[in-house]
Structure 1
Amino acid sequence: MSSLRSRIIISTLFIILLVTIGSYLVIQDIQKGIIEGEFRDKGFLLSKHLATEITIPLLVNDLLEIKTYIDNLQKDNPEIEYIFVTDSEGIVLVHTFEDGFPEALVERSKPSNVIEEKILDTERGIIHEFDAVLYNGIGYVHLGLSENSVRERIEMASQKILFLTISAIFVGALFSVIIGRRLTDPIQKLTDGANRINQGILDRKIDIDTGDELCELATTLNNMASSLDQKIRDILASKVQTENAEKYLETLFNSIEDGIIVLNDKHEIIKANESFLKMTGLTEANALGKTCREIIFRSDYPNNTDKCQIETLLHTKKPVRFEHETIINGTGKTLDVNGSLFIDMAGTANVILVIRDITQQKQLEKEIITRNRELTVLNSISRNISETFDLDDILAHSLEKLLDLTGMEIADAYIQDEKSGDFIPLIHAGDNGNTIPYNSFEHLINKNDALVIENARGVLPESIKEDGGGISSFVAFPLAAKDKHPGIITIRSRENHTFSEKDKELFMAIGRQLGVAIESVRFYNNIIYLKEFNEEIINNVNLGIHVVDSKMKVLAVNDELINLNRGQITKDDMVGKNLFDVFSFLKEKNIDKEYEYVLNNGEIFQTEEKTLHSGEEIFTSTSKIPIKDKDGNVEKIITVIKDISSQKKLEEELKDSYDELKLAYSKLKELFKVKDNFLSNISHELSTPLTSIMGFTELLLDENITDEQHNKLEIILRNSKRLSRLIKSLLDTTLIDSNGLELQVETLSVYEIVSQVADDFKTMSEIKKVPINIDMSPYMLVVGDRERLIQVFSNIIDNAVKFTMKGEITVKGDEDDENVHIRISDTGIAIPEDKLELVFDRFYQLEAMGSRKHGGTGLGLWISRNIVNAHGGKIWAESRNRGSTFHILLPKIKLK
């Protein structure tokens, strides 16, 4: 139902709206007519004026003056689209068209088509052409005016009128609201006041001071409300005094958290507080009149027997206290019951029971005991992991502890074969039950959660029941290390067992511990393998070799090169043929540029490459050695190729394993420090013989040896240096972990250090056609360790060269009062935003998810960050869509 106020406002507003809109339409039409009339008058005036002005020049045939005049006229009047003048025969004498006289107007120029005004519809809009006859018909003036300016004026005038119309409507609406409020406010106040009196709100007066009949009616209603309010206050005052005492006791009775009930001598509940009703889930009506046995004790204590504690209390009149387990509303509860006798004024004996729900306390006690057992198992497994690298012993000990913890009978551990990916049974524990084949339950496994099948023989798959010997309960959980799952553990029992979500979390925690342990053992085995691999290089150098002439014709190959091609090609397929015809992919990888470099410069060129050959990735270390004739020209090139696929795969495994160790369980952190020390010792053990090998190799290179011996010794020395750099990185890792990184500080030129590093990578950058540009002042100085800062810039520029296929690398630097800021930018592979921090983690490589064609150990950026931090500086990375920028901030102040 609409209000009186809204009807008044809407009616007034509607009238104003009609008047305003009508006025708007009339004014707009009048304004439009005025503007269009002015436009036509101007057209006629201009054409006739022009005819008058050019009559004399036309009589004397001064076309140049006519042209000048019409050009100035068009310039002074922007709305003029064109002007052209014809003679009495309709021949165009002058015009203002820049691109020549339009063919469309040729017909218009004829005297027979001359009229005072004609409207033309063109691509540039509506044009009005006004024609005028020169003196005695000696010629004609044709002047075209664009209607666009007129339309703009009409549009602008319409907008102004519309603005005034809207303003008038707004003012009218405001006026309607004010008038409506003025007329209806007193009536609304009377209505609100009557509603308040009806609702019992008597202390608020109706405020109307209009001085008319409405004001008198408001005064009468105010007096009536005051009289009613006083009478109600008198009634309530007497009632409050009688209820205060009762409310105090009732509040105290109901505010106690413990449940309280009062029983008569028949054990019937005659009173209960709110806590008891909340505890039992009953209403007061449902509880009163029932016996305590029906609600609390059930059939445990039949009435009127010696076992009933309430009956004992009534006979002995002594307080009782006991704990009782019962089921209320389908939920098991443990209650602490205190009972005492109460005799009222009439001598009637009543029993007061104070009941406390201690279910959660009991459950907490049980949970503490359970968690202590779980922590004991976790600590035992953790201690065993830290004490041995024997995987069988670790798994056997863990299975034994799991069986003790769960009370189940049989456990098995399955380990994933690194080559085939299959899960193979490794350890069996418990009674003589058979080991279940992994494929019997593989489809049930979720590698992100524990599988629990409990108390449900009918739910278990037939394959598990048959292979497992009629088991009833079955648990399987993955052994996880980061995103890897190297194993599975299963536990089973012929009895029913129940497991909670916390039990599943415990299984997953144990799985993570054992998963990290497996990766740690594999990492240890990889270190041992690295030592054996080093000995293999020293004792048995197997190299693939082929020889080409200056035209890239293959002259000779050896058997090891055929082996490197995995039997896909024979010697006959290569000898006598062009190298790039045999291996067409070499040009795609710009290997031909490397041979051109050797031919042109006569220098050895060494690279490491990844080749996809017949569906297989092959990693090789290649040396291209020039053979010169007597004039010093390169006539042959010997290419020595070493298959380092196994080494690359080992490096990937080492990197992945080290990444997984970083995520080891926090409680094992101290224990893994022992393993770090062990790895440090292993690195020293590798470094000692390697130093001797490098020393003796350098001595042999100075001896009188054959070229072939010299080449092989260079290969040994180069690979030994590569291995030495890897070991140095591992030693740097140990130094950083033990806070043993020391700096030999001096005042250094940043420009000099960056230039030195850029020179080291000059050859590789020229081969890849990726220039290294340096843009910084040669006078920027810092205080730091020269070798360590060279190591930082080398690591970053090395990555930039490797990951940039085309473009450039830019090193910029600037400084302020406190810091020197160096930015190293490339146009290579972008780093995902969520990986910008991870690239500084130990052993992390961005290509871990894809190919590893660029190599590396994943230690360079991690070591660089620690070196920069040791200088009191900061290093971070940025990357957007393409390329990356590494920022290095070094303090200018002297280190303390």
Structure 2
Amino acid sequence: MDSTDIKVLLAENARLKRMMKRVYRGAWGIPFYPENTDEAVPAGYLPLYLSTILSSEDSFEERIAKSLSVLGQFADVSRIYIFENHEGDSLCSNTFEWCNDGVNPEKDNLQNISYDEFVEWRRMLIEEGSIQASDINQLPDGIRDILAQQSIKSVLVYPIMVKDHYFGFIGFDECSFNREWLPHETDLLQMAARLIANTYEQEAVSSEIRKSHAEILKINKELADKERFLQSILSSAPIGILLVRNRVIEYINEATLAQSGYTRDELVGHSLADLYYKGEQDEELVNDFYKAIEANGFASMEAHMRGKYNNEIIIRVLGTPAPESIGENAYLLIGEDITHVKNTEHHLRESEERNRKLIEATIDGILMINEHMQLVYANSSACNMLHYQQEELFEQKIDDLFHSEELVEDFLLALSSVKNGVDYKGDIQLVDKTKRTVHAEIYATSINLDGDFHYYVSIHNITKRKHNEASLKQSEEKFRALTENSRDHILRIDSVGELSYCNSAFLTDFNLKLQACVGKKLSQIKELPKELVDGLLTSINDVLASATASNIEIEYRFLDAIKAFDWTITPEADNKHISSLLIVGRDYTQKKKAEQELVIAKEKAVGADKLKSAFLANMSHEIRTPLNAIVGFTNLLKEENISDAEKVEYIDIVNKSSENLMDLINDIVDLAKIESGELRLHKEECNVVQLMQELHRLFEKRMAIDQKTHLKFYLNLPEGPSDFRVKCDQRRLRQIFINLLGNAFKFTQKGFIEFGFTADNQQLRFYVRDTGIGIAADKQSFIFEPFRQADESTSKNYGGTGLGLSICKRLVAAHGGEIGLISEPSTGSEFYFTLPLKNAVNGNKVNGIKQEVIEEKPTINVTPNFTWANKMMLLIDATSTAQLQLRKVLDRTKITLISARTQKSARELLLKRNDIHIVLMDLDMPGLELDGFISGIRQMGIYVPFVGQTNQPVTSELQEAYRAIGFNHVLGKPVDNEELLKAFNHSLNGTRV
């Protein structure tokens, strides 16, 4: 027996069991057990049990599904289902389904079934009330075929009627055998169908109630929205809206409040009569206004109302009766504030009157001519200019105002350009009533009068000017006759800078022709020396700007001779405007030569004194800088809460500053000894290679300390010999190198520094090369003189005394050598010197290797009375020691410290950042320009306090001077730490400067 046969037997066995179960239940009323419960329900209690389920609080879908499950347990059929109608009852779909064990569901296959496919089905349900068949072959063909497709053998179907309307049906299928439907089964199932139909009807009623409630809520919301919308329109309307009953204000919108200046409480409930500006006059106007509303249904008026501040407000009011729903004696008033319009009209009338008076009062004649060339207006000045009465002038034709037809045509041509939209300006000749010529400058344009095109012609009388020009021409001829006989150079330049005249002396001295000069600018005459042209043009510009005479001395070279001329430039005015310049040059070459010889002698004497003064002033700063570091860090060493590492660091800084101070003093002493002849060299054998290697290591350490990581530092030694020895003063040779290398590091910001030497049989040539700022050729001649530097700004920007190179030159000369330089600005420099070579020994070359030293930066505790945890300080100081010292002082204050080494970088930080609260500035730093610095920062909206420190004696006058340019405090160096912290605290907690 195969598996198929087994399945058939098992199905048949299940069918027989269900048949026996049904027979027993029908014969003895065996109760059934609903799914998921052990409770036995007698068959007769089925309707009550279903009613309990269908009236529960579960959802509609859950109640129907549970009911079908109970019916399935009771009837023990193959399938129970519910179909619902839709699409106008033309279609139906299976919405609920229960299936017995082993029965396949058909719900998904029974959607959107058309009644047209089994019309008899609906008819039987509606007319007969049920479809009952133990064998589907008893049913009509169309119904039988559809049921057979689902393997149905017996069927029992009842209609679901909702509000007496055929809503759908509930069916019971038996697919296992032909089932005879027992009477008690059909009765109970029919009753169950009615209970389910009642549930559908209740759900439909509930749905309609919910829908009606939603509609009511929607309508209420729409009404509320419309009310809010209307209220919004009234409130935001740009015109005033009022509701008045019995002349009393009941409603007023925001625009009316804005127009009047009153509050709502000050107007609502008050009479309009309280707002009349003109009292009884306004009362009468308002009464007529309301009467017109009653008579015509609307009315308008211009009302003069009183604002809150007793100002007059002119309102254009439109009034209509209010809706009947509001009540009797109620009016809706709409008002537009036309005060500005009325004021504008008033001002316009005043402006027209003012313009008319201005036209009448002007000294220029004004004519207005229509398109037919008829005079329609002439002011008093025009009448006086032409010697006509106004009535007489209006009777004249345009032709009567000119001497000839040609002049008339010129005037008409000018007016034609105005007609085409181009204003005209030019000179014409008119004729007055006495037939005398009137020279005039006219300006013609177009103007609209009452909508018609007119010509507006302004006439300026220039008859006197023309007469003056004729007189000037005669004077010019006399002037030329005089200047031609003068030995001075005499020129005249017109208002555009071109030569209008030059005398014979000028032409002869420069071998020029008159026609090659007149009408040209000085710069266009190539034969003239450039120095002369540049000097004259500069002075000419000054005279034109100041309108005052100027005197200038100019030296120039012409034909291998140096000439000196004293030039006087005088402006010549016409009607208070410069029309030309008269230039007179007198030769004073011989006098100038004598004066120059005297000046040179004086300059030598003054120069020596000036250099000495500059040296002393600069020396003050150079000495104070290391002293400040010494005093500052020795004060820090007095603190009790510093570590041993910090003490070592501070002592190193003090030692270094002491060494710098000692080097400076040694330079001064050395120069004094050299000048007095007391300097003695102690020559001994010196290992040059070893000395230069020591110097290389020394300056590498300085580079690391000064954080000059952007520079490369090289030592180049010659190939071959491993050792070079020379007899010299080793200390002085070291001093020369330190001076030259120190200068290289001072003036080199990027690139490299290289030093070394070369040797021949006679001498050693030492050199120091750099890629620094370089030295101009005209400065190299005095760079080795005492107290001199390449530029006056060098000391200010980079520091230094100007002694180092002078001492080097004297020391090299004392050793029998020479010193010099090769340099180019912005490219770099090479300083070299020579020493005679004696007893040289071969040695190996040593290349310089750069080392970077990174030092741990310890902290120091300060008095904890000052704490600024959320503040930031900007230090502007060019020295690293000052930055380190201040960082130690401020460590315990918890303030954040940032620094800038230049004024430019400090300004950039202040403009970029908004978290800087105080600035400390070194007032003696190189390159400092305080003029406009703090005020410029303040103009950008940055109001941080500034504290300064200086080497100058801090007097009350100095304090006031620095406060005037924006400083809160100025302290003298060396600064006491406690005093410095107090100044910070006062500036941070005080008012802005």
TM range (shorter): under 0.3
* TM-score, length of structure 2 as denominator length: 0.23
* TM-score, length of structure 1 as denominator length: 0.25
The structure with more radius of gyration: 2
The structure with more helix, counted as a fraction of residues = 1
